[in-house]
Amino acid sequence: MKKKNESQDDIVFESDLENSGGDFEKKIKKVKQELIACKKDKEEYLDGWQRTKADFVNFKKRNEEDLKSFRKYANESLLLDIIPTLDNFEAALKDHGEGEEIKKWKTGFEHIYSQLLRTLVSAGVEQIKPLNSTFDPSVHESVETIETNNEDLDQKISEVVMTGYKMGEKILRAPQVKVWALKE
């Protein structure tokens, strides 16, 4: 007597096997094949789940890195707006004579300049100070070349016309420089 079940084709009961007569081996073989297919499906689903989980973990890591980068450079336009103010301070701080009033005025400007520079440094901005280093067109912007007979000075930076700034490895503004060039 067969037991009634909604999915009779999928499930084989012992009573079915006992009463099957000559079909016993066929039914065992069918059950084994179904079991093998189920194991294969299980492995595919497990592999798919594990890949999806790994993809999600990688996505989270990339997303966190992108968010860090975004936070790091989010203020870039504000910082680029502040940098010209530093240029004006540097121009004003150049020596404009002596006298007690000029010294007081210059000291006040130096304090304001230092405070503004500290604010930028705390935001991760650094000045690029290339004086006497070798000219690198990927970092520096040459505004003038000065001829020299000294081979040791060839392609060295002779003067910084405008200070450069970087944030991490990203150059916000390249320093404008004058470069020594060997006379030919």
- Alpha carbon distance 154, 119 (integer Å): 36
Interval 20-29 mean pLDDT: 78
Higher-pLDDT residue of 34, 183: 34
The rounded mean pLDDT for the chain is: 84
CATH of 126-184, one of 1.10.10.60, 2.30.22.10, 3.40.50.2300, 3.30.430.20: 2.30.22.10
* Angle CA 64–66–70, to nearest 5: 115
CA distance 31 to 4: 18
Proportion of the chain above pLDDT 90, given as a percent: 47
Q: Which amino acid is at 176?
A: Q
Q: Beta strand pairing status for 141-148 and 170-173?
A: unpaired
146-167 tens-digit pLDDT: 999 999 999 999 999 999 999 8
Residue 138's SS3 state is coil
In this predicted model, what pLDDT tens digit does every residue of 88-127 receive, in sequence order?
Answer: 878 777 766 677 877 888 888 888 888 888 888 888 899 9
Residue 9 has pLDDT above 60, yes or no: no
Q: Encode pLDDT of 65-99 as tens digits.
A: 988 888 777 777 777 778 888 888 787 777 666 77
Q: Which amino acid is at 111?
A: H
Identify the three-state secondary structure at position 44. Answer: helix
pLDDT score for 8: 46
The SS3 assignment for 157 reads strand
Q: Is the pLDDT of residue 4 over 60?
A: no
E strands of the chain, at which residues? 125-128, 141-148, 157-162, 164-167, 170-173, 176-182
